Amino acid sequence: MRRWICAALLLGCVTASGCALPIYSAIPERRAEQLVYTSENLRLLLQEWERFWMVDQPDHMTPYRVHGGVI
């Protein structure tokens, strides 16, 4: 029984990592298209992360003090 459980866990780990079931196509043109889509999604994920934390906004802080009155 223990062998079956260990074999099932090993099989699950191997298939989940993409070794037994490849995540990209074997056709080179299709694989290149899939890789472009994946990299584009990762780039958009970074922009979405910056937008969520509002670090993509311009900084309105000045590095020096400004006199607000009329001189």
Q: Is the pLDDT of residue 65 over 70?
A: no
48 by Cβ neighbours in 10 Å (0-12 / 13-18 / 19+) ranks as exposed
Q: What backbone phi and psi angles, to 5 degrees, belong to 34?
A: -65, -40
Q: What is the mean pLDDT of residues 51-70?
A: 71
Q: What is the mean pLDDT of residues 2-8?
A: 91
pTM: 0.45
What local confidence, expressed as pLDDT, does residue 5 receive? 92
Q: What is the pLDDT of residues 8-60, one digit of tens each?
A: 888 877 766 656 667 888 899 999 999 999 888 888 888 888 888 887 776 66
What local confidence, expressed as pLDDT, does residue 25 receive? 87
